[in-house]
Amino acid sequence: MQDLAGEENTHVYRLNVETEEVTDLTPFDEVKAYVSATDRDQPNRIIVEMNRNNPMFFDVYSCDLETGELTLLQENPGMTEDGCMILGYMTDEEMNIRGMATIDPEVGTIVFYLKDAGAEEWEEFVSFSALDTVSPQRFSEDGRGLYYQSNLESNTTKLLYQDLDTGEVTEIAHDSLADIGGVSFDPFTGEPRSVSFHYLRRDVQILDPSIREDYDFLGEFNPGDFGITSRDNADSTWIVVYFTPQSPAIYYLYNRTTRSMDYLFNAIPALDDYQLAEVEPLLIPARDGFILPSYLTVPINAGEELLPMVLYVHGGPWARDYFGYDPFAQLLADRGFAVLQVNFRASSGFGKEHLNAGNKEWGGLMQDDLTDAVNWAIDQGFADPDRIVIMGGSYGGYATLAGVTFTPDLYCAGVDFFGPSNLITFRETVPPYWKPMGAIMDIRVGDMDEDSLMLEERSPLNHVEDIRVPMLIVQGVNDPRVVQAESDQMVAALRENGNEVYYVLYENEGHGFAIEANRLEFAGRVEEFLYNHVPGVECQMFEEIPNSTAIVR
């Protein structure tokens, strides 16, 4: 799948690996399409969903990979008879439509419905509020059971199995600190073999005793976290990938019979020639005692001197930072910065209490968590209070703008990329297929009517007079999530107020960087900005990158 220029209208493509011929299987303008199901027993058929008929809703198609023919299986009418919006559909292991999810647009209640293959009537399986999580994983091989994640009766998600004939529910796996990160199913029996959880580091619960010795061996082979990306039909050979702070992915071929590993490749082989920094997992207390799982990267051979520090804020915000390789954290550490990454409240993966604690707290408690983490770093004696930079993308961009606005004395500079500046206009300009989730956005961010004053108050655009530090603001021209106007209006207000601001637009980019030249160009811009505005750092000066689409305004 790939979009054209960052607008996120992905198309589904077929690649002939022998001739390298590429065919667009969904050649429709302004349509978003994606693959939602495959079946090893039907190798020439996939399930594709796309919003060709209505930009808000996705219909379900069967796609013949040989001919490219698309057959409509399920039209999404958009609304149910009781006024709920249809979020989408789910197929079983034979790619029959068996599940449907709806949401009440007024209060955000979500309902999952199930039916037998070929049946017409839907039966309610579970109903839950937006404060909870229920996530179907897959049907059993015989189609008479459903594996799903749920936190309805716990803080963190559990892996459950429900017999659809008797209604009996069996708990399979659970961790009290972290939500489920992933489930590995046996490709032949359909039964779960292992479940991963990621609190500070990745932890795996083994469900299938036949693979325990394999996992023990793989865990001892490399200190990084690992996963199984694929296996042969005999289940005797696995492709194993290791994730470390020094490499995004190192691949090996593992022979289960001989317990031997053959090195395949490093996803970024150039990194083999460099020594990269270590990452330390941390638990940082906020001012109210709320615990913030965090990660600290420090320069190699850092001494006792105070370090300049970048608070690097993740996007989402319903996402998280992980233990592992982060290219910008490593770049900044190489240039002499400590880098602090904080899973503030609203970050996902740590249970619903952690997630829901961020409801309607953009610019509030979520921002306080970041402030508290910076003050913690200063109190620990390694961060120079006069050389703290805040930087982030998407929600992290908003947090950057909020940080330099609401705590203007804490930071010496800010780097915002793809960040919303006004919570009202941000909500008004999201993609049409986000509209069914409007009630959840009301709960998570703030109700457009009832909370309008709060949203205005917490919009950095409305407080530019409080910003006293230089800013680098970066925007993708085709960003469908945080549109260019969000950055345009912030830059205009800053310049009108006399602030020092550098503005860079990237053509043919959306909510992130897809073009390598632009990733390098952006990194160079950040280095130059930090060199000019953070005393005592050693960054490389900016050089023009061929084929970059950057426009400096």
Cβ pair 60, 74 in contact under 8 A: yes
Write down the catalytic residue from 354, 442, 479, 548. 479
203 is annotated as an active-site residue: no
- For residue 232, which amino acid is it? D
- CA–CA distance, 336 with 103 (Å, rounded to integer): 48
Could you write out the DSSP letters of every residue in 408-460? TTT-SEEEEES--S-HHHHHHTS-GGGGGGHHHHHHHT--TTTTHHHHHHT-G
- CA–CA distance, 186 with 205 (Å, rounded to integer): 15
- CA–CA distance, 161 with 227 (Å, rounded to integer): 23
Residue 76 tokens, joined: 């999404």
Q: Which residue has the tokens 């594996």?
A: 147
Contacts of 174 (CB under 8 A, 6+ apart): 154, 156, 157, 158, 159
Residue 130 tokens, joined: 């937006």
Q: Which residue has the tokens 């609190």?
A: 199
Strands 22-24 and 225-231: unpaired
Residue 232 tokens, joined: 């042969």
Cis peptide before 327 (omega within 30 of 0): no
Q: Can you list the alpha helix ranges (DSSP code H) found in 234-356?
A: 327-334, 352-356
Cβ pair 419, 395 in contact under 8 A: yes
Beta-bridged to residue 348, according to DSSP, are: none
Cβ pair 396, 420 in contact under 8 A: no
Write down the catalytic residue from 394, 421, 459, 487. 394
479 is annotated as an active-site residue: yes
- CA–CA distance, 228 with 252 (Å, rounded to integer): 10
CA–centroid distance for 148 within its chain: 20
Burial of 308 (0-12, 13-18, 19+ CB in 10 A): buried
φ, ψ for residue 103, nearest 5 deg: -135, 140
- CA–CA distance, 348 with 371 (Å, rounded to integer): 19
| Sign of the CA dihedral with 533 first, then 537, 542, and 547 last | negative
Beta-bridged to residue 149, according to DSSP, are: 135, 159
* 209: helix, strand or coil: helix
Write down the catalytic residue from 334, 511, 533, 548. 511
* 103: helix, strand or coil: strand
Nearest to 245 by CA among 311, 318, 295: 295
511 is annotated as an active-site residue: yes
Catalytic residues, which ones?
394, 479, 511
